[in-house]
Amino acid sequence: MNTARVEKSYKQAKEKYSELGVDVEKAIEILNRVKISVNCWQGDDIQGFMFPNQELTGGISVSGDYPGKAETVNQLRQDLDKAYSLIPGQHKLSLHSIYVDTDDEIDLHEIEPKHFESWVDWAKEKNIGLDFNPTLFSHPMSESGFTLSSPNPNIRDFWIEHVKRSRKVSEYFGKELEQVSINNIWLPDGYKDNPIDKLNPRRRLLESLDEARSENLNKEYTQDAVEGKLFGTGVEAYTVGSHEFYLAYALTRDLLWTVDAGHFHPTEDAAEKFSSVAPFDQGLYLHVSRPVRWDSDHVVILDEALQRIANTLVYDDLLDKTHIGLDFFDATINRVAAWVIGTRNTLKGILLALLSPVDQLKKAELDGDYTTRLALTEEMKTYPFGAIWDYFCYTNNVPVGMDWLEEVNKYEKNVLAKR
């Protein structure tokens, strides 16, 4: 890295942006406060360590067999350490409950905070936060295709207990790490072909969620979020936990509504959902992902969809009110690189939004000057954003430009290839 060139380019770019009234230093200051919750399951293809040989179910599938997959807790943390060292800022990690670190033979309805103590120790050492996810898939008790909405009370009770215990683990994370831990609930329940009864599964889900969440926990430590989906593989005709169901549930239970960018119809824009719920002071949890046709969960790229998400968060002043997580898994490429690409791109999108002359754009719109609004929006696309991004990486002591890929290639040669 040529330090002098980075600083010179930054100074020139800063002057360029200042001509439009953009405060670059303030934008960097805000970006330094943004925490992205990195998804642990990219590192091992969603296998976890509770049932490492369990076949993926619930409509979840990972394609590819790139070498070097993490097979142990220590390997996963080692890979995460490398990824975080290449990502600017201080962030979080999103864990699924199957990523326990214990020698105890336990099932999902038996998890306790003690089974995740080593994760907390690691997070404290790395100065990152932890979010959590109950795992309601890839388990014998989910083979019927139903969990919390199952007509079988024994199945429902199993998963209710699992969610209860997941909430306590999340609370433990928040207390120990002194930052809120989001407990995100997603389940794969539904039908492949047209059902006759669409109402009662949702009634059962409502009752199960209420029971699972019956204990009031301190929101300074943990907050629940509910994540809907249009459909999934094997449940193409009917998804019990739809967007509409969870939005209504979140609004009436005062919890977070999770918007996953890959869980809507291909013609829908996930970013459009934010301002629809913001007037109700509804909290949001994002799963930044990338859908391709009917499939979701591709590695996040800096495309128009991501930029619309970032712009909406910044333009509508929702950045401090939204929890941002990632959700993708790709086994066709280097898994550490996938983390780095997806997280850095999410941060790039937010930085681009922060470098927009928002006040000018809003004034032009309010004045009915749509010509200026369009002209300025287009002009900004050629501004020297890259120089600001390079400086942000430089000041955060992470590689600038493509230097990070050289680090990943070395890591693959020296670590991943030897597994």
Per-residue model confidence as pLDDT tens digits over 196-207: 999 999 999 999
Confidence label for 61 from pLDDT (cuts 50, 70 and 90):
confident
Cα separation of 53 and 51, whole Å? 6
Average confidence (pLDDT) over 405-418: 96
Which among 14, 115, 139, 263 is annotated as catalytic?
263
Per-residue model confidence as pLDDT tens digits over 145-156: 999 999 999 999
> Is 403 an active-site residue?
no
Among residues 12, 116, 93, which one has the least CA distance to residue 390? 12
> Is 260 an active-site residue?
yes
Query: What is residue 226's predicted lDDT score, i.e. its pLDDT?
Result: 97
Confidence label for 309 from pLDDT (cuts 50, 70 and 90):
very high
Vertex 283 angle, CA 217 and 156, to 5°: 55
Task: Determine, yes or no, domain membership for 388.
Answer: yes
Task: Determine, yes or no, domain membership for 27.
Answer: no
Task: Determine, yes or no, domain membership for 325.
Answer: yes
Average confidence (pLDDT) over 125-141: 96
Q: Are residues 350 and 372 in the same domain?
A: no
**Cα–Cα distance list, 6 to 27, 271, 340, 392 (Å):** 17, 33, 21, 10
Query: What is residue 267's predicted lDDT score, i.e. its pLDDT?
Result: 85
Q: Are residues 265 and 343 in the same domain?
A: yes
Task: Determine, yes or no, domain membership for 160.
Answer: yes
Average confidence (pLDDT) over 118-146: 96
Q: Are residues 307 and 393 in the same domain?
A: no
| Number of folded domains that form the chain | 2
Helix (H), strand (E), coil (C) string for 100-169: CCCCCCCCHHHCCHHHHHHHHHHHHHHCCEEEEECCCCCCHHHCCCCCCCCCCHHHHHHHHHHHHHHHHH
Which among 79, 227, 330, 390 is annotated as catalytic?
227
CATH at residue 149: 3.20.20.150
Q: Are residues 389 and 297 in the same domain?
A: no
pTM: 0.96
Q: Of 331, 354, 377, at which residue does a domain stop?
A: 354
Which among 14, 139, 287, 348 is annotated as catalytic?
287
| The two three-digit tokens of residue 271, written as one number | 């970013």
For residue 219, the enclosing domain spans 34-354
Which among 131, 171, 189, 297 is annotated as catalytic?
297
Q: Of 303, 325, 354, at which residue does a domain stop?
A: 354
The average confidence (pLDDT) of the chain is 95
Which among 189, 224, 260, 390 is annotated as catalytic?
260
Which run of H or of E encompasses 171?
helix 153-177
> Is 295 an active-site residue?
yes
Which among 41, 122, 159, 186 is annotated as catalytic?
186
Task: Determine, yes or no, domain membership for 223.
Answer: yes
- In this prediction, what percent of the chain has a pLDDT beyond 70? 100
Query: What is residue 412's predicted lDDT score, i.e. its pLDDT?
Result: 97
Find out whether 159 and 167 touch, Cβ atoms under 8 Å: no
Query: What is residue 233's predicted lDDT score, i.e. its pLDDT?
Result: 84
Task: Quote the longest CA-to-CA distance of the chain.
Answer: 68
- For the CA atoms of 295, 146, 243, 224, the dihedral, rounded to the nearest 10 degrees, stands at -110
Average confidence (pLDDT) over 128-146: 95
Q: Are residues 172 and 292 in the same domain?
A: yes
Sign of CA dihedral 192, 198, 202, 204: negative
Q: Which residues pair with 324 in a beta bridge?
A: 36, 286
Q: Are residues 394 and 255 in the same domain?
A: no
Say how many Å lie between the first and final Cα of the chain, rounded: 31
Highest mean pLDDT among 44-58, 79-93, 230-244: 79-93
Cα separation of 76 and 322, whole Å? 27
Q: Are residues 279 and 207 in the same domain?
A: yes
Q: Of 308, 330, 354, at which residue does a domain stop?
A: 354
Query: What is residue 376's predicted lDDT score, i.e. its pLDDT?
Result: 96
Query: What is residue 352's predicted lDDT score, i.e. its pLDDT?
Result: 98
Query: What is residue 74's predicted lDDT score, i.e. its pLDDT?
Result: 97
Q: Are residues 219 and 83 in the same domain?
A: yes
> For 90-94, 236-240, 267-271, 409-413, which range has the lowest pLDDT when averaged over its residues?
267-271
- In this prediction, what percent of the chain has a pLDDT beyond 90? 89
| The two three-digit tokens of residue 348, written as one number | 């790039």
Per-residue model confidence as pLDDT tens digits over 358-396: 999 999 999 999 999 999 999 999 999 999 999 999 999
Task: Determine, yes or no, domain membership for 29.
Answer: no
Which among 229, 273, 323, 348 is annotated as catalytic?
229
Q: Are residues 195 and 273 in the same domain?
A: yes
Cα separation of 87 and 396, whole Å? 9
Q: Are residues 269 and 217 in the same domain?
A: yes
Confidence label for 265 from pLDDT (cuts 50, 70 and 90):
confident
Q: Are residues 12 and 77 in the same domain?
A: no
Query: What is residue 283's predicted lDDT score, i.e. its pLDDT?
Result: 87
Sign of CA dihedral 373, 378, 379, 382: positive
Query: What is residue 264's predicted lDDT score, i.e. its pLDDT?
Result: 87
> Is 229 an active-site residue?
yes
Which run of H or of E encompasses 291?
strand 290-292
Task: Determine, yes or no, domain membership for 258.
Answer: yes
> Is 327 an active-site residue?
yes
pLDDT at position 59 over 80: no
Q: Are residues 255 and 243 in the same domain?
A: yes
Average confidence (pLDDT) over 41-52: 92
Which among 327, 330, 390, 412 is annotated as catalytic?
327
| The two three-digit tokens of residue 10, written as one number | 């930054």
Query: What is residue 53's predicted lDDT score, i.e. its pLDDT?
Result: 80
Which among 178, 295, 369, 379 is annotated as catalytic?
295
Query: What is residue 287's predicted lDDT score, i.e. its pLDDT?
Result: 94
Q: SS3 for 352? A: helix
> For 89-103, 283-297, 357-371, which range has the lowest pLDDT when averaged over its residues?
283-297
Task: Determine, yes or no, domain membership for 119.
Answer: yes
